[in-house]
Amino acid sequence: MGKNKLGLVFFPAFDWAISPSHPEREERLLYTRDQILEEGLLDLPGIVEYKPRMADLKDIEMVHIGVPDLKSLLTDAHLVAAGGVMTAADAVMRQEVKRSFALVRPPGHHAMRVVHGIRGFCTINTEAVMVEYVRRRYGIRRVAIVDTDVHHGDGTQDIFYHDPDTLFISFHQDGRTLYPGTGFVEEAGSPAAFGTTINLPLPPGATDEDIHYVLDQVVLPILNDFKPDMIINSAGQDNHYSDPLANMAVTAQGYARLADKLKADMAVLEGGYSIEDALPYVNAGIILAMAELNYHKVVEPDPLTNKRQTSDSQRQAYVRKLTEHWLKVWPRREELSRQLCKEAGEFWHRSRSIYYDESGISERQTEKVRLCPDCSGYFTLGTAVEGWQERDRSAFAAAITKDACPACRRAAKDAVLAAKKRGEYRYYLLQDKQHWEVEKL
């Protein structure tokens, strides 16, 4: 292990914006960068900065299925953001630093496996791209992602929903009150991966006390039991009391203490839109905590403006009930998984509609997962954009998992060839994680 405790990667993406006045803009990182320089954090011993590199398109293709194709949906900024997260991972895996924090944009945790456009400000899921990269490059298997963004990380959940080796934990503002309207306790993974998706929807107004109660009672014990090879913090900062897009009451100190307790190997910046009043201070606190330096003096310019922080016995009772649910389910997850697999039979099916709010696209998607007794199986999905000439924006794909047996490998390819013969879709693809390739059929 090198003498450095923390590696930082910055990429503000000057040339990428959804629109000039959109909340997801370069100032999100520029104010943070100014604060870090003003406080001299980059001059502190043990903190080192890395320059991002560009990810290869193939890295993205091993996670996402783009319609009509990924190349037409991405910009260089997306490739640098993904490459910046991979750079941060390399620094940890090579033991040059103990931990790393990638402060990059565009964000990614709303990007699902299929990509038709932009949803929730996201096009590709940089953390998922990085996870598949480190698995192939460094041979790690079990990964935990703890999403602390105020919005449910529906994209990350979608990508790893069938993967028993990826533990996805998200605590967020209840989806009944905030975009994307998902992230409920019933969403716990498909049958063979049941219990490795853990959603903790918190009521509006949740405070430092509330999130730390959930962290201490649920998140940390489950992480300890799961024993991941790598812990990633999907570090959204819009739970802050000043964030204009949400309704929570968390402080910069609350975030710093969370980073201190979580001790993630990596953090990746996600949301957070209080550009001047929160992000510089929240990020400074996280950086100091991850570098194992004193963060206790990091406070907002006017902490008395936290009007959302109130004592609410009903909210506190809800949070305790939520933790009790998972403390009952987690020890029984393998038993419940076997039961669900038995009920589903050979295949588990799902159909749903997905809306791309930034692109105005409505997607219809069907999914079919092979529950193989000998391996992690394979899955197929059909996707189409609703509306005029929708066949031109449609695809059928099969994904061969990293430990698929020979029978499942053959069945996955046969499923794509059979779909192509029927001619219902425009594009046909086979995503092969064993051979690290995507085949267009």
Q: Which residues contact 421 (CB under 8 A, 6 or more apart)?
A: none
CB-based contact 144:164 (threshold 8 Å): no
CA distance 56 to 67: 18
Q: What angle do CA 403, 408, 410 make, to 5 degrees?
A: 120
CA distance 426 to 68: 9
Tokens of 281: 């201070």
Catalytic residue among 64, 78, 109, 110: 110
Task: Give the E-state strand segments of 265-392 in sequence order.
Answer: 266-269, 347-356, 361-370, 378-385
B/e letters for 143-167, b = 16+ CB within 10 Å, e = fewer, are: bbbbbbbbbbbbbbbbbbbbbbbbb
Tokens of 362: 């409505």
Q: Which residues contact 423 (CB under 8 A, 6 or more apart)?
A: none
Q: Which has the closest alpha carbon to 67: 368, 396, 378?
A: 396
Amino acid at 398: A
C-alpha neighbours within 13 Å on the C-beta side of residue 119? 26
Phi and psi at residue 323, to the nearest 5°: -65, -40
Q: Is 349 a catalytic residue?
A: no
Tokens of 147: 């999403």
Task: Give the E-state strand segments of 131-229 in sequence order.
Answer: 143-147, 166-173, 197-202
Tokens of 115: 């990509």
Q: Which residues contact 289 (CB under 8 A, 6 or more apart)?
A: 256, 257, 259, 260, 295
Answer positive or negative: Cα dihedral of 134, 60, 266, 319.
negative
What is the distance between the terminal CA atoms of the chain, rounded to a whole angstrom? Answer: 45
Catalytic site positions = 110
